[in-house]
Amino acid sequence: MVKHRKQKSFFAINTNGKYTAKKTLLVTLILFSTLFVTVTQAANITVTTSRNPVALDDSFHLIYEADSSVDDDPDFSPIYKNFDILSSSQSTNMRSVNGSWDLKRSWNLTLIAKGIGNFVVPAIRFGKDTSPAIRLKITNNTSANGTATIPAKIFLENSIDKKTGWIQSQFIYTVKLLRTVNIANATITEPVISDPDAIIEQLSEDKYQTTRKGIRYEVFERRYAIFPQKSGTLKINPVTFEGRINATQSRSLFDQFRISGQLKRLRSKAINVTIKATPSNINLQDWLPATGLRLIEEWSDDIQNIKAGEPVTRTILIATEGLTGIQLPDLTFDEINGLKQYPDKAIIDDKKTASGITGYKQIKIALIPAKKGNYTLPEIKLSWWNTKTNKQEIAVLPQVHLNVTGSVLTDNTNIQANTDNLMPSDKNSPLAKTQTTNTISFNENTYWKWLSLLLALAWFITLVLFFKKNKITKKDIQEKSSSLSIKQAARDVVKQAKKNDPAKTKTVLLHWARIIYNDSTLTSLTMLSTHCSPTLSDEIRQLNKSLYSAKQNTWQNDNFINAFNNEMTYADKNKEKKLSSLKPLYDNQL
């Protein structure tokens, strides 16, 4: 008897009661389906460039292409490390290959390199997908000083009139664009420097032609005056030109919508300047670095024939070459017995030429002599620093002698004279008695009428206030909140000033200014000084000088606090006036 080995069926149940074969088949199907999904979802991404190598100042195109299965939009942020993305566009194309449709997406980036060398554009992530990296070589076709080794068709030049100078003095910075090609959509950035408090004023903008090595160039030139407010090294960052070269004029209406010409970007060199601090033997109040300073005086009348009680106007003009008008100080005038002096608000102006700024400050003083006689006005001295000779000089207005004629006048003379013309000269005359009697009678008859009218008016006002008692508008709340904010900011300024801390005083003072003048762009003391009164402006100038002075404890905080409190009093009286962020509170114009 032959015994047959019992074979297990393929679908036999194991000891655990599970179908082993079915389980194996199910796992295999899952693995294949997962692999299939993974393969179908893998995107094919390519990257190409319009040319390689590329000149530093030339733009080029970087093109990414991917099929429709790309996981997500690309993240191009890694490119910014070594390149600037000037523009970008995206397109989608559909094509038929062997009867099947294929969808392609492309991203076209216009780039310009930030430096010279061999660079790797890193892999770009498209969600879970990744593009390949690409190597680029950036070359330089100009020399180190910015001039072309082979004559360039367009290039930038920049220069400074001196490599070292005094704090708060004038530096002339020049930028030139030279070209032999047509340009369109051209821009040149404004200079940016390392001193945030420095004053920068554009002096001129000019176009002319010049010849370099036998080649004629069109030149576009800008000049700036820079007044640094800190000693040490001042860095002037490169300015940048950007535009399209060899741009053609539009021949039809539709051509106007096309952007022609190669996009070009140029950078000037950076410039470092050494700024010297104030000399140790010069007081901050006397620090006026300029190439020239004059004091000019004029009178409205003949000062040798002035009548007592009649005003005469004295005009003093401070003119400085190499300083702005806002940098000039106020003048003080000694009191003279019997001669009243009423200084007017100073008028500030600047005259700009290609060679620099001439600042003006005009001060008018009304003088009224109370009695006849001779008056002597003392000489006026103004110390300044000559940046040409590096020596301190003093501008002087000599003594002035006034000859006053006429009788002695009191403050109430004119008023009393006008009153005497209206009233009878003899109080005992019948006319005077009649007027007095009629006045008393009139007062008695109209007393109750006026009292009744006053009571009615008071009742009406009470009624109006009753209905408005609980009606507080949003505007009222905002105005009250703004008022409280201004007062708190003002208290902070006085608090820090009393501590004699110039740095913290500057911080809270700028915070106060941004609130009261409603101007968020006020970020420096120099900008603030153009918004406030001449007195506070002068104290702000002294505060600014003390921050960068080599001397210690040079700031007169008591004078600043007095000027600031007077400014707050003026602001309170004019709080209903709307303060403009574009126009200073005090209009300094000639």
Tens-place pLDDT, residues 431-464: 344 334 334 343 444 555 666 677 777 777 766 6
For residue 340, what pLDDT is reported?
A: 92
Q: Is 352 helix (H, G, I), strand (E, B) or coil?
A: strand
Interval 68-81 mean pLDDT: 84
Q: What is d(CA 363, CA 347) in angstroms, rounded to the nearest whole number?
A: 7
Q: How are the residues of the chain apportioned to helix, strand and coil, as percentages rounded to the nearest 5?
A: 25, 35, 35
Q: Is 326 helix (H, G, I), strand (E, B) or coil?
A: helix
Which residue do the tokens 């492309």 mark?
Answer: 106
Architecture label for domain 45-139: Sandwich (2.60)
For 166, residues 6+ apart whose C-beta sits below 8 A from its C-beta are 275, 276, 278, 289, 385, 387
Q: What is the pLDDT of residues 255-290, one digit of tens each?
A: 444 556 778 888 899 999 999 999 988 887 789 999
Interval 460-485 mean pLDDT: 55
For residue 568, what pLDDT is reported?
A: 76
Higher pLDDT, 94 or 14: 94
For residue 545, what pLDDT is reported?
A: 74
With a cut of 70, say whether residue 141 has pLDDT above it: no
Give the distance from CA 430 to its chain's centroid.
74
DSSP labels, 115-174? SSEEEEE---EETTEEPPPEEEEEE--B-TTSSBSS--SEEEEEEES-SEEETT--EEEE
Which residue do the tokens 């991203």 mark?
Answer: 107
**Strand stretches in 228-285, DSSP E:** 232-236, 240-245, 262-267, 271-276
Q: What is d(CA 472, CA 468) in angstroms, rounded to the nearest whole number?
A: 8
Sheet holding 380-386, edge to edge: 289-290, 380-386, 391-397
Interval 47-75 mean pLDDT: 84
- The domain locations on the chain are 45-139, 154-252+259-276, 285-405, 474-573
Element (H, E) at 400: strand 400-405
With a cut of 70, say whether residue 424 has pLDDT above it: no
Interval 502-509 mean pLDDT: 87
Phi, psi (degrees; rounded to nearest 5) at 231: -85, 160
Structure token digits, residue 259: 């952007």
Structure token digits, residue 544: 């600014």
Q: Which candidate, 173, 298, 149, 152, places its Cα nearest to that of 227?
A: 173
Q: Do residues 578 and 519 make contact, with C-beta atoms less than 8 angstroms apart? A: no
Task: State the average pLDDT for the chain.
Answer: 76
Q: What is d(CA 193, CA 234) in angstroms, rounded to the nearest whole number?
A: 7
Phi, psi (degrees; rounded to nearest 5) at 483: -65, -45
Interval 41-62 mean pLDDT: 81
Within 10 Å of residue 359's Cβ, how many Cβ atoms?
A: 23
Q: What is the pLDDT of residues 355-403, one digit of tens each?
A: 999 999 999 999 999 998 999 999 999 999 999 999 999 999 999 999 9
Phi, psi (degrees; rounded to nearest 5) at 59: -85, 160
Domain 285-405: give its CATH code. 2.60.40
Please report which confidence band the pLDDT of residue 585 belongs to, taking 50, 70 and 90 as the band edges.
Answer: very low
Instruction: Using DSSP bridges, classify how beta strands 271-276 and 164-166 pair: parallel, antiparallel or unpaired.
Output: parallel
Burial zone of 173 (CB within 10 Å; 0-12 exposed, 13-18 middle, 19+ buried) = buried
* Identical fold, 154-252+259-276 and 285-405: yes
Instruction: Using DSSP bridges, classify how beta strands 306-307 and 400-405 pair: parallel, antiparallel or unpaired.
Output: parallel
Q: What is d(CA 370, CA 311) in angstroms, rounded to the nearest whole number?
A: 10
Element (H, E) at 100: strand 100-113
Fold classification of 154-252+259-276 is Immunoglobulin-like (2.60.40)
Phi, psi (degrees; rounded to nearest 5) at 346: -65, 145
